[in-house]
Amino acid sequence: MEVERVRFIDHKGKPVLLLDFSNCRAEDASKVIVQAGPLVQKATPHSLLTLSDMTNITIKDFSTRQLVTFAKGNGSYVKAAAVIGVSGLAKSIMATTVLLTKRKILAFGTRQEALDWLVST
C-alpha cells in the first residue's frame, strides 16, 4: 500500500491509532486489519483510542467476519473506538460488528468530532 494506513496520530497530546480504510477496496481493507493487529495487541489493556476512517470504502466483497474477528480479538486493548465515513453497506457492517462484538463503537460525522470525543473519554 502506498499510503501508511495504520499509524498513531496525536490529538491534543494523546495518541490515537488511526485505521485508515478510506478509499480502500476489499483486499486493501484486509491488509489494514492485518497490519493493525500487532500494534493493537502491544497496548496496555483498556488504554487504546482508535479511529477508523471508512470514507468511500468499497466493501462489496469485504469480509464482515474478518472485521468482527478483529474487533472481538482486540476489544480488551481498546478504551474507546470511533468511526467516521460510514454510509451504505459500511453502516450495516458496522452495526453487525457492534452487535456481534458487544463493543461500544461510536460513529461521527467528522474526524474532528471523533477525535475530540476520543480524547475526552
* 32-46 pLDDT, tens digit each: 988 999 999 999 999
Sign of CA dihedral 110, 97, 34, 38: positive
pLDDT for residue 111: 96
Please choose, from the candidates 112, 30, 37, the residue with its C-alpha nearest in 3D space to the C-alpha of residue 64: 30
Q: What are phi and psi of 3, to 5 degrees?
A: -100, 135
Q: Which CATH class is domain 6-120?
A: alpha beta
Q: For the chain, give every domain's residue range.
A: 6-120
* 77-118 pLDDT, tens digit each: 999 999 999 877 667 777 777 787 788 889 999 999 999 999
pTM score: 0.87
